[in-house]
Structures are given as C-alpha cells and as structure tokens.
Amino acid sequence: MPITESIQRLDFLKQCFFAYYSEHLPTLQPPPSMKQREFGFLMFRDKIMIRHKSFNDFDPFKDTLLSLIPSDVYYSTAYYEKPDADMSHKGWLGSDIVFDVDADHIDTPCKGSHDMWSCPNCKETRRGKKPPKCPSCNHEKLEDRAWLCDRCLFAAKEEMIKLRDIMVEDFGISPKEVHLFFSGHRGYHMHLMSDKLMKLDDSQRKEIVDYVLALGLDPDDQGLYLDETDRSSDISSPAKSKMIVGPQATDPGWRGRLAKGVIQIITRFDQGQLLDLGFSKGAVTQIINERETIEAEWLKRIPWSYFQDRWRVTEKIWKSVMEKSLDLVRMRTNIDTVVTTDIHRLIRMPGTLNGKTGLRATMLGLNQLEMFDPFDEPAVFQGNQKVYVKESPEIRIHDKRYGPFVNEQVELPLAAAVLLIAKGIAIPVS
C-alpha cells in the first residue's frame, strides 16, 4: 500500500479507536490482580510495542490508553513483584494458564475462497493457502492475508467447546476459574486463573497440552479388549468364549470421549463410511435400521459384543472404529503450545479493540459460548462510512452481509468499514 494511503488508513483507525475508548472507558474492567501484571501497548505506526508498564489502579491505565490510542492492548498472564522492571528483575510469582484456539490452524474448506497470499518480489497474488515459495519467481518470503468468516469462527468455537469440556470434566477445574474470550479476530482464548495451577512450570504446562491434544494416545489402551466370559447359560454358545469389551460413554476422560465418538459413528455415519470401517453389508443394514433405538440405549451402555454375535464383527473392526472415533473427538487444531507454556506471555485484554479488525475482544460466560455470534456483539462501531475497497470477500456485520467487492467505492456500516480498513484492503473516503 502506498505510504500516503497507509497514513490515511492508520489515522482513520486511530480516530475511530479514540472515539470508542472515549465513550466506553467506563465499561472496561481491569484484569484480576492488576497491580502485579505487566501491560503492553502496540502502536498503530510502525507496530512498535510499548511494554513493561504497570498500574496501581485503573484510572492511570485509562489515562494512558486515551493518550496513546494503541491498535492493541495486552497484559501479562504472569504475576510479578515488580511488573515494570526488566524481565530479569520482575520477580515471577506465578502465571495464568492460557490457551489460544485460532481458526488459522483449522483446515476449513472456505479458506480456499477467501484467504489470499501475495509475493512482494513479483507482485503475484492468489487465493488459497500460502505456498512455501512463489510459483512464479521462487521468492520464499510471501505475505498472507487470513480472512474471517462464519465457517472459520464456528470451527474455532467447536474446538474451544471441546477444550472447555476437557478442562472442567477431565481436570476438574472449577467453572469459576475458567474464563473464555473471543479474541476479536480469528479465534478464542481460555484463561485458567487458579491458585493450584499458577506455579506450574513450562514443562508441566506442556503435559497439559499433550493431554488435551491426545498426543500419544493409543485407542487400544482405552479399554477395548477380548474377555473370556462364562456363557454356559446360553445354550447356543460355548460354555466359555471371548467377548469384546470396551469403554462406555459414562467413563471419565478419553475413555468416555472415545465411547461417545463410537456412538456418533454408529448413529451418524452413512452406508459407505461404515463399509469403509470394515462392517459387512448385513451389519450396516442392521445398524441403519435400528438407529432410532440404538442411540438412547448406547448412551447408557454400549453392547460391544452385540454385533460380534449377530454379524461377526471382530475386535479388528472395533479397533478401526475406535481409531476413527479418536479423529472425531480430538481437537482438530494444534493449540499454540508456545502460548500455553510461556509463563511470561502477554495476552490481549478483554474489552479492548483488535487492531486487525476493529472488533472488540469479548468476555464470554461458559454457557454463552455455543450461542455466541462473533459478528454481532463485538461489532461496536455505529454509523456509516464510505470506503474504496480494492478487493474483499463477503463480510457479515450483525445480521447483514456485504460484498464481495473489487475496486469499488461503497458506503458501509462503520463496523464493516473499519474491518476492511484494518485489514488493509480499503481506504476511507471523505
């Protein structure tokens, strides 16, 4: 973008951010233990980070926010004795555990239609995933522009729901200690604020990540086995035979999660998918015909040997089902391990604006996540604004959609205009 256009764009954004903060400062809430946290401010010009700031109360923070008008506001997940000192003299007291679930790390099919990359060397620009190097000139340092749409953010939300359930159900974290946030861009953050967890070091935090991502988990070790059982009461069976035994949906941890995945396969997969897993045509027909009664019954107890008797379903087939179940129930995104294990991390402050979109980083209750709309409440700007749009995929603000646009001047709701300008693909028109 030419320098004059870049200055025009940044000046406009700064004015909008100033107007928002001037009006909404009373709604901002300080993070817990504010005096022990470091604050950082990313500036619009040159993306300079001003950090190692500390505040004894919230009023000086608000004064600083209005005087700087940064593009992004951060605070430390860590608690320090001297948060304004350099890193070697801060005096680490502990740190919240933070998870970052980002749509960038989820391979949603919509990315091919709205994400773009460009080569600064030959100016080649294309849609889709950024390649390792430019196919036209072999230049390796390519620039990408990740977009945000309903499908991307819904996928990120689904992963955060899985993570929330693991923290509460598997780790026994109190819901009061689990804090969820929409980042204002392409993902969600979870903060675990617990006295029992704050002293964990980076290696211990990595163990939590490994568990969450089911790294190294072998479905064979989750309770699926052949058990020699006395069946002498059944005249049609030998006195003793080996019955297939497996985990139940009521089991804790990954055992129960895998069992629920098996139920999803049996009650949701189509004929072709079941055949691919090794089931015979007769077994598939039986499964599909009995689905109305299977789901309710199997949530109480999965009869693993049921199809062994009727359709000769073997342990090998059930193992393939368990492996497919793991693919279904595990998180589809690689949680940013660096974010979770970094005990000195700066994280975006809830209630502040995201400089990449102009959307507000929004705090969510644990039970609000499923119904949360990232293009509604976080879109805080009111009014309209004319912009010249170079190229933009379709966007949604509140309940209306706009675009796509290519080299055209349009008047948009201010929240949509700010988003396009913040993305660097539009400039304001006076």
pLDDT at 231: 47
Q: Is the dihedral of CA 116, 394, 163, 254 positive or negative?
A: negative
The CATH number given to 219-329 is 1.10.8.160
Q: Is the dihedral of CA 87, 90, 93, 97 positive or negative?
A: negative
pLDDT at 239: 47
Kindly list the domain boundaries of the chain, sorted by start residue.
3-106+149-211+335-380, 111-145, 219-329, 385-430
pLDDT at 232: 46
Give the CB-side neighbour count of residue 263, counting CA atoms within 13 A: 22
pLDDT at 233: 47
For domain 3-106+149-211+335-380, is the CATH number 3.40.30.10?
no
Helix or strand or coil: residue 348? strand
Q: Environment class of residue 93 by beta-carbon count within 10 Å: exposed (0-12), middle (13-18) or buried (19+)?
A: middle
Q: Environment class of residue 321 by beta-carbon count within 10 Å: exposed (0-12), middle (13-18) or buried (19+)?
A: buried
Q: Are 140 and 133 in contact (CB under 8 A)?
A: yes
Domain 385-430, what architecture?
Answer: 3-Layer(aba) Sandwich (3.40)
Helix or strand or coil: residue 225? strand
Other Cβ atoms within 10 Å of 366 Cβ, number: 16
pLDDT at 245: 87
Residues in the chain, pLDDT under 50: 230-233, 235-236, 238-239
Tokens representing 68?
């700087």
pLDDT at 240: 56
Alpha-carbon distance of 427 to 418, in angstroms, equals 9
Task: List CB contacts of 351: < 8 A, sequence separation 6 or more.
Answer: 27, 28, 29, 360, 361, 362, 363
Q: For residue range 401-428, what is the model confidence (pLDDT) as tens digits?
A: 999 999 999 999 999 999 999 999 999 9
pLDDT at 43: 97
pLDDT at 387: 98
Please give the biggest Cα pair distance in the chain: 89
pLDDT at 296: 85
